[in-house]
């Protein structure tokens, strides 16, 4: 009788197996040269003139803050201000003082030069705010800005708890790391720095694959509206999230923009 031999599962009948290449772990916030961030290049590319997305975002945050019944003695904060002044402008009528918290040494230097008298490119941004009476009542926004705004070097990951009564954080949590855990930590630490019930506005890049500044690429996490909603669910209430449709993109490698408004929950 002829015996049939059936190969065992361990018998190798194909080409030799190859081990997959090791996966590169997501880059951390500390892996990037933030202190030499090219502030002027970033400002020129993004804020030298107002883009359609800025107009849409400003309309959202302007109307939200104007209707939020904020105590005028409130101290506000913009976390990770970078080279963007319009989040601070959004808080100007409603605060006794606005702190700009920025980690990058080069961005701190850029901001300190802007506070005493910001450049003319910001006039169009302010004009859009003045479509609401709360902003129109400020006759000299440059003087108000210079009087109320100050710059502090600091990290979103090391903010004091429950220190401010109004806050903004624009394109920070999504653009400081490739690690989703650091995105969540940044949002949670921002919320934790605000008083319970404090109004806030935060903006994010949708599906960002990172962004070039000068000759260096900086990191991002790939998030969408659901990611933002899920993250804020644990730290905020009365949250309203808008996806900002854009026409001409500022660069390749992202889907759109997301802006969220709400109030800080007790458990933040």
Interatomic CA distance for residues 258 and 122, integer angstroms: 22
CA distance readout (Å), 37 to 61, 82, 202, 244: 27, 10, 22, 26
Work out the percent of the chain whose per-residue pLDDT is above 70: 88
Q: Exposed (0-12), middle (13-18) or buried (19+): which is 160, by Cβ within 10 Å?
A: exposed
Report residue 83 as tokens: 């080279």
Confidence of residue 248 (pLDDT cuts 50, 70, 90): low
Q: Where are the alpha helices (DSSP H) in 67-97?
A: 86-91
Angle 168-123-111 (CA atoms, 0-180°, nearest 5)? 50
Q: Among 30-39, 104-113, 217-226, 245-254, which stretch is predicted with the lowest mean pLDDT? A: 245-254
User: Is pLDDT of 6 > 50?
Assistant: no
Query: 187, 175, 241, 179: which is closest to 34 by C-alpha?
Result: 175
Query: 121, 157, 107: which is closest to 48 by C-alpha?
Result: 121
Interatomic CA distance for residues 171 and 256, integer angstroms: 12
User: Is pLDDT of 227 > 60?
Assistant: yes
User: Tokens 């590169």 sit at which residue?
Assistant: 24
Question: What is the predicted pLDDT for the residue at 19?
Answer: 58
Question: What is the predicted pLDDT for the residue at 157?
Answer: 97
246: Cβ contacts below 8 Å, ≥ 6 apart? 51, 52, 53, 256, 257
Question: What is the predicted pLDDT for the residue at 33?
Answer: 81
pLDDT in tens, 56-103: 999 999 999 999 999 999 999 999 999 999 999 999 999 999 999 999
Give the residue with greater pLDDT, 216 vs 251: 216
Query: 58, 43, 24, 165: which is closest to 104 by C-alpha?
Result: 43
User: Is pLDDT of 122 > 50?
Assistant: yes
pLDDT in tens, 158-215: 999 999 999 999 999 999 999 999 999 999 999 999 999 999 999 999 999 888 888 8
Identify the H or E element spanning 102: strand 97-102
Question: Is 57:246 a contact under the CB 8 Å cutoff?
Answer: no
User: Is pLDDT of 3 > 70?
Assistant: no
Interatomic CA distance for residues 56 and 247, integer angstroms: 12
Three-state SS annotation for 16-56: CCCCCCCCCCCCCHHHCCHHHCCHHHHHHHHHCCCCHHHHH
**pLDDT, average across residues 40-55:** 93
Question: What is the predicted pLDDT for the residue at 262?
Answer: 98
CA distance readout (Å), 65 to 84, 99, 116: 18, 17, 24
241: Cβ contacts below 8 Å, ≥ 6 apart? 225, 228, 229, 232, 258, 259, 260
Interatomic CA distance for residues 93 and 111, integer angstroms: 20
Question: Which of 16-20, 25-29, 234-238, 252-256 is modeled with the greatest confidence?
Answer: 234-238
């Amino acid at each position: 009788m002829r015996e049939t031999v059936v190969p065992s599962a361990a018998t190798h009948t194909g080409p030799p197996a190859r081990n997959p290449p090791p996966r590169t772990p997501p880059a951390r916030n500390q892996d990037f040269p933030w202190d030499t961030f090219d502030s002027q290049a970033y400002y020129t590319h993004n804020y030298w003139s107002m883009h359609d997305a800025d107009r849409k975002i400003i309309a959202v945050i302007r109307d939200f803050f104007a209707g939020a019944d904020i105590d005028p003695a409130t101290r506000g904060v913009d976390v990770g201000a970078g080279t963007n002044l319009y989040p601070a402008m959004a808080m100007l009528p409603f605060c006794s003082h606005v702190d700009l918290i920025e980690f990058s040494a080069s961005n701190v230097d850029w901001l300190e030069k802007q506070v005493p008298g910001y450049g003319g490119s910001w006039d169009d941004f302010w004009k859009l705010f003045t479509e609401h009476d709360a902003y129109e009542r400020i006759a000299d926004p440059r003087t108000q800005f210079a009087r109320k705004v100050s710059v502090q070097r600091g990290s979103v990951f090391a903010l004091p708890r429950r220190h401010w009564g109004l806050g903004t954080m624009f394109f920070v949590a999504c653009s400081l790391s490739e690690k989703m855990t650091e995105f969540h930590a940044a949002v949670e630490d921002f919320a934790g720095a605000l008083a319970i019930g404090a109004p806030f506005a935060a903006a994010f890049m949708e599906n960002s694959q990172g962004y070039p500044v000068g000759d260096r690429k900086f990191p991002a996490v790939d998030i969408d509206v659901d990611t933002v909603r899920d993250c804020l669910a644990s730290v905020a209430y009365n949250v309203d999230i808008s996806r900002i449709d854009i026409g001409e993109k500022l660069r390749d490698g992202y889907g759109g923009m997301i802006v969220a408004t709400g109030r800080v929950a007790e458990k933040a």
